[in-house]
Each structure stands twice: as C-alpha cells, then as structure tokens.
Structure 1
Amino acid sequence: MSELQLTLLGEDGALRRLSLAESPAFARPTAPLRSRVVYAAVHVVPQVHGDNTPGAPADIDWDATLAFRRTMWSRGLGVADAMDTAQRNMGLDPVATRELITRTADAARAALQDPEISAVFPEGAGVSDLVVAGVNTDQRSEQELSLDEVVEAYLEQLRATEASGAGTVLMASRHLARAASTPAEYEDVYRRVLEAATEPVVLHWLGTVFDPQLAGYFGSDDPAVGAETLLRIIEADPSKIRGVKMSLLDDAAEIAVRGRLPEGVRMLTGDDFHFSHLIVGDGDGAYSDALLGAFAATAPAASAAVQALDAGDTDEARRILDASEQLGRHIFSAPTFHYKTGVAFLAWLNGHQDAFVMVGGMHSARSLPHLSRTIELAAATGNLEQPALAVERWHSMLRLAGYTIDEGAA
C-alpha cells in the first residue's frame, strides 16, 4: 500500500509534498480518568444548507453537534458547552444558546445510560459531570445595563441552566465590564448571583485576547489586581465555587492564583498556550485540571495524556501534551478569538461534520496557508483521527481554491 502524500500550501502560495504515515490511534479509556478533571470546550455544527452568514441566527445541525459531544464523553472527557468555543457572541444567538444547553444536558442524561460511556465516568456521575454550560447576560440586547439588571440577567440564565441539569460556568459578562467601575461592584454582583446558585459553579475569567470588550474585568487591567478581586469573591463562600477557569494565556498568573485557592476549589486551566506543564504539574503535587477549547481539537490525545498520568507515566503524559500544545499554539495564534475556525476545521478533517462550515460565516476567518499548517501539525502530533479522510478533504479544498493536486497525492 502506497504511503499517503499530503500537499501543503505555503504563505507564498507554493505547494509542497509531505509523506504522511498512518497515525497510531490513541486508545480509548476503559475506566474513568482519575488524575485530572478535564472538560473540552466544544463548537457547534451548523446546517450545511443554512444561512451561515454574519448576523444570521444560528441554524444548528443538532445530530452532528450532539454526536460530537458524544465523542468527547467516549474519551472520558466532560463537555463545556455554550461558551466562547461554541461561538457565543460570535454567531451563536441567545435562542440557540438556550436550546443548545438543554439538548446537550438531555444528551448527557441519555449517555449515562450507555454502558460504554458510563464505564469511563466515576460511579454515580451525574449530568453536571458530563456537561457544564456557560451562564452570561447576553440575552439582553441593550449595550448598557445597570448592575441590578446585570444580576437579573445572570439569574435568568442561571435558573434555566440549573433546570436543565447541566453544571454552571459563570462567564465574564460584557455588560458587567461596562457597568462596574470598582472591584467592590464586581464582588457585589457575583455575591448576589452566587447566593442564588443551588449548586457550586465554575467561575470564568476570560482575557482580552479572547474578547477585547472584557478589558478591565474584575476592576483592573492589571491581572494581579484582578486576581485579588477574584480571590475575595471565592473566599466569601468557597462552598459555592466548584472551580476557576482562567483564560488569560498567562501561566504565571494562573499558578499564582492556583496556589491561593481554598481547599476543594479546582483550578481549571483555560490556557491554550501553556496547558502541558500546568496540567502535568510542577513536581510538588500542584497542578491544574482543564477546561480547554484546544481539547476539542485534540480530544484523543488529551484523554491519552490523562490515562498516562493515571498509570504514573508523567513523561508520556508530558510528551503527548507538549505535542498537542504545539498544535494549540498555532490554532490560537492572533487574532486568538478566531481559534474556533481551527477547531471546526479539524472536526471536519476528522469526520465529525460533513462540511467545513460554521455559523456566522466564521469558516472564512483563517487563511488557506494557516489551515495548511493546522493539518500539518495535526498530522505530526497524532491528532488526525482518520489520516486518509483528512488528506482527501484537504486536497478537495485546495482544488476548490484553484490548485492542481497530483491525483497520486491523495
């Protein structure tokens, strides 16, 4: 059988060939992952025939979208849904967001009845162990809200999400960033929302590389000052906090906060640039769990890395995560908020959706050379699940763009 040949496209428009060996498949777990709690923040798959243009309401292919979530669960990974990876505020409208949370929670409930999936989650696991979902204030279309209105908007989404059975990720709110001017105002809003939560929540600190409208969140542009506000919110009632997801792409800031968290509050890294050493840990028992968009693109590798940690093989876990981090750094390169395009591109290459299309037309947010480097790195790091299919699909995309591909290349 001839070796696969992958045609790549350079920044200068030149084509080159790369021999592509069949990637060894990462083994699926046969027991629950023990060493780390891991959630993959996942994307949505739109209807191919839908009006997937900027500003149009999201028209979601629910079968493909929910099937993708099942692939995460089959690897022992939880799903973080209705967050920025799902194009929240970038194509996923409030109506679709609420339906997504309900449908994913229902799918998780059904998945727990599947012996193959229940076997890779701890005994007694519930819906919130399989899925956590973003709670925000974005159902309100007004640009400006008072602090009281921000609280009520949060509470409206919190009630709906808790009713679904999904766990809650309390997301950073653009409305709150505009309305609050002091750390004390952030503390008051979070206190009032957390008092109403019936189950512990994950707090999400999203940096400006992901959303420039969140500048000054927690009362300061200085992460060290913002961290003090965040820690006061947590310390006011740690029983209300399941964990903290930090998405600043600043590993030193994360480690500093991690070392001060009250007992029982997890640090869930959202650092798609530095997750490898944060997850493996620093040798003295300190480590981060994970809630990462990068793991939507590298779920088999993420699962395999935790399996290696479970087996006591930190070197193998680090090797796997270092490779995936290299891919993640490319997918999340500036402008970082366009990383969702890379996630959907790899889902298409790996056979998890029928077409490379995204809500809001976001499949056009990355250049062909950027996508070429994405598939090259995915191949090099073992993150092409079906290499022959990936090559076929990528070459078809190049042909559509007017490039002539040697038929023997695919």
Structure 2
Amino acid sequence: MTIQLPGAGGELRTYTPRPEPLSITTGAPFTSRTVYSAAHVVADPYADVSPDSPAAVDWDATLAFRRHLWSHGLGVAEAMDTAQRGMGLDWAGAAELIKRSAAEAKTVGGLVACGVGTDQLTGPDHSLDEVRAAYEEQLALVESAGAQAILMASRALCAAAKSPEDYLSVYGRLLAQASEPVILHWLGPMFDPALDGYWGSSDLDAATDTFLEVIAAHPDKVDGIKVSLLDAQREVDLRRRLPDGVRCYTGDDFNYPELIAGDDRGFSHALLGIFDPLGPLAAEAVRVLDTGDVKGFRELLDPTVELSRHLFQTPTRFYKTGVVFLAWLAGHQEHFTMVGGLQSARSLPHFARAYELADGLGLFPDPALAEARMKNLLALYGVTQ
C-alpha cells in the first residue's frame, strides 16, 4: 500500500508506510533520570462551542492518555502549555484537569506534577499583589490535590514587573510558602511571545543571573528547573551553576538527546512536550540509558529529533497541533479536534511530513489505522489517492 502526500511546494509524492510498529514493551521504573511528558488534552468533538468558548474536554479520553504515559513509566506534567494552557484551556478547565489527573495518578501510582500560573487574571494592568495572589490560589489547589507544583512563567507578572527585584519578591514569597519543593519553569518567548523579557531582562545572561538568585534564596524549596529556551549550550551552562540538589529538567525539544545523556560534569532530567507522541520510545531509550549504554540511548532517541524539530518549527507555540494530530493517528483519540479550534494552526504539508516522520520511526501502534486516518484527512483537503 502507498499514500500520496503533498509537499511544501504543492507537489504530490508517493510514500510507502511502514508495515509494522516499533516493538516496545513496558519495563522497570527509571533509575538514572526523572522523566516527565507534558500531556495534551482531548477536546470533546460533540460540544457546541466556538473558539471563544470555555474549553470542552473529553475527560475519559484525556485521562486514558495519561494512563498510557504512566504505563510506560513516564511522569505526567499536567496543565502545562502542551495542554493548551493559555491557548484554549482557561483556568477553570485547568483546575478541573489538575484535580482529575492528580486523583487518577493516585489510583495507578503515577508521577504527576501540575502547572501553577496566574491565568485566572484576565485583561491588562494587574498589580504585583494581584499576580502573587493568583499564583497563591493555584499553588494551594495543586498542593491540595496532592501533586507537585510547577511554577510556570506568568504573562501577568511579565507585564506587571518593572525590575528583576519584582521577580525576586514574587517568587520569594511563593517559595517561602510552598509546602514541598517545586519545579521552576522558564518558558522562552518562542513558546509564548508575551514572555519576552522574563526575569526582568531580554538579555538572557542578565535574566539567568536573576533566575539563579531566586533559586539561591530558597534552594530547599526548589526540586528543579525546567528550561525551555531551545539553546543547548545555555542550558548546560545554567545546569552547571545550579546549587547542589537542584535538578535541571530539559525542556529543549530541539536538543534533548544530548542534554539528557549529559557529559562528565552532569546531565539533564526531562520534562518535554515531545515526549507526548514519543512516550513509549522515549521510555525505552531511558531504560537503555539506565544500564549505562549511552550509545544505545542515542541510537534510539537521536532519530526522533527530526520529527521534534518539525513539530516545533516556527511559530513554535503551535507545536500542540502536531502533538494532537499524532495522537489521533496513533489511535489514542477518535478525532482530530482541538480546544479553541487549534487544529487549523498547521498546514496540510506540515501534517503530511509529520505523518511520514512518525511512521518512519514506528510510532503508530497500528500503521494501517494511521494510514487510513491520514488518507481521510487528505480527502477532506481534496487530495485523491
């Protein structure tokens, strides 16, 4: 069987799908790295909503996908940007997602950490006190649900802060009252343009100094940092400056194999959106790394980088569309619909290349199903086979 796929120039090319998926089985818990997959949400395709409506979520399918990730030993990073936080999923939806996911994690013994932000604040011009109070409300909810907190970058704080000292003040108050160590998330402007200048400066060296100052003031309250700047050397340099006991979780979806493998001076753990579609393969690679086989780890994970770079290409914030598209092709959900109508955010040639790369990696448990669904999508666009 073959399939006609459109290229970037509009031409059609013939592709022969892979006949069998990659053979992967679940295994023992990881021993050398802590690994989270940021997870997407599954929209309710039958809800009568508009792009401006609150998100309508299919809770059964959403939680089933999390059980899929947990079954392979991955932790779930919940209610993060991969779940369309701030791009279709509002705070009310995120709060419900956090409570449901944390409860589900307890039933299966899964690792879960949840995003804490300020997205209940709408409109411009919020004070620092309002920003801090919003963070505190979300932190309390996450902790009451029994999950670890991830303090996410805040658009409202970025708009309200006038200096690095404002970040030190807000984060200092939050860390002082956190009941357990948290993960700090530095999300770069390529993922969210509204976060340009976070930590008080668009100069990344100056911003890094402020970030490290926040950590140094409360090292016992910081489990680790997630760095999403898509700059491998900057992450390595930052990793080497962390206080003892504070981990670095790579959020670099362009360079994750080398950062997780590390060097003779350390390594990064992982908290990655790309591990949503790569979950079973990523878990297999980490178990190989657990044996000390760095070469085998890289042989498994390096070939996935081309797919990741494709999904996260500019404008990077729309990578969620590719993630949900692959979940549909893989059979994890019955439709390709996203909250906020975000399924329209990428082009047909983009989808075609994502399908080709994912199929080549053996990511689809049922290649015939993926092929049939891809052909259905192509037919909707007028591409006949």
Q: Paired residue for 1:317, among 292, 297, 318?
A: 297
Say which SS state the counterpart of residue 104 (structure 1) adopts.
Answer: helix
Q: Paired residue for 2:101, among 104, 107, 110?
A: 104
How far the C-alpha of 1:43 sits from its partner, in A, is: 0.6
Superposition map of 1:334-373 within 5 A: 334-373=314-353
Distance in 2 between residues matched to 1:285 and 1:22, nearest whole Å: 42
Say which SS state the counterpart of residue 185 (structure 1) adopts.
Answer: helix
Corresponding residue for 1:221? 202
How far the C-alpha of 1:137 sits from its partner, in A, is: 0.7
Unmatched segments (≥5 aa) in structure 2: none
How far the C-alpha of 1:290 sits from its partner, in A, is: 0.4
Q: Paired residue for 1:200, among 181, 188, 202?
A: 181
Corresponding residue for 1:16? 13
How far the C-alpha of 1:52 sits from its partner, in A, is: 4.9
CA contact (8 A) 1:80 1:131 kept: yes
Unmatched segments (≥5 aa) in structure 1: 113-126, 406-410
Partner AA of 1:183 in structure 2: P
Q: Paired residue for 1:34, among 31, 34, 37?
A: 31
Q: Paired residue for 1:181, among 162, 165, 173?
A: 162
Distance in 2 between residues matched to 1:24 and 1:340, nearest whole Å: 23
Q: Does residue 1:268 correspond to 2:265, yes or no?
A: no
Partner AA of 1:363 in structure 2: Q
Could you tell me the TM-score, scaled by structure 2's length?
0.98
CA contact (8 A) 1:46 1:359 kept: yes
Superposition map of 1:7-406 within 5 A: 7-112=4-109, 130-282=111-263, 284-405=264-385
Corresponding residue for 1:123? none
CA contact (8 A) 2:18 2:360 kept: no
Deviation per CA, 1:385-404, whole angstroms, max 9, x where unpaired? 32111101000111121121
Distance in 1 between residues matched to 2:168 and 2:180, nearest whole Å: 19
Partner AA of 2:106 in structure 1: R
Could you tell me the TM-score, scaled by structure 1's length?
0.92
Distance in 2 between residues matched to 1:19 and 1:404, nearest whole Å: 16
Distance in 2 between residues matched to 1:207 and 1:53, nearest whole Å: 29
Distance in 2 between residues matched to 1:150 and 1:15, nearest whole Å: 51
CA contact (8 A) 1:150 1:176 kept: yes
- The 1:279/1:23 distance shift into structure 2, 3 A limit, reads farther
How far the C-alpha of 1:310 sits from its partner, in A, is: 1.3
Partner AA of 1:375 in structure 2: Y
Distance in 2 between residues matched to 1:365 and 1:188, nearest whole Å: 37
CA contact (8 A) 1:53 1:359 kept: no
Deviation per CA, 1:219-257, whole angstroms, max 9, x where unpaired? 110111111111111111111001100001111111111
How far the C-alpha of 1:312 sits from its partner, in A, is: 2.1
Distance in 2 between residues matched to 1:84 and 1:26, nearest whole Å: 30
The worse-fitting range, judged by mean Cα deviation, of 13-22 and 294-303 is 13-22
Cα RMSD for the two superposed structures: 1.2
How far the C-alpha of 1:26 sits from its partner, in A, is: 4.0
Distance in 1 between residues matched to 2:14 and 2:49, nearest whole Å: 33
* Number of aligned residues: 385
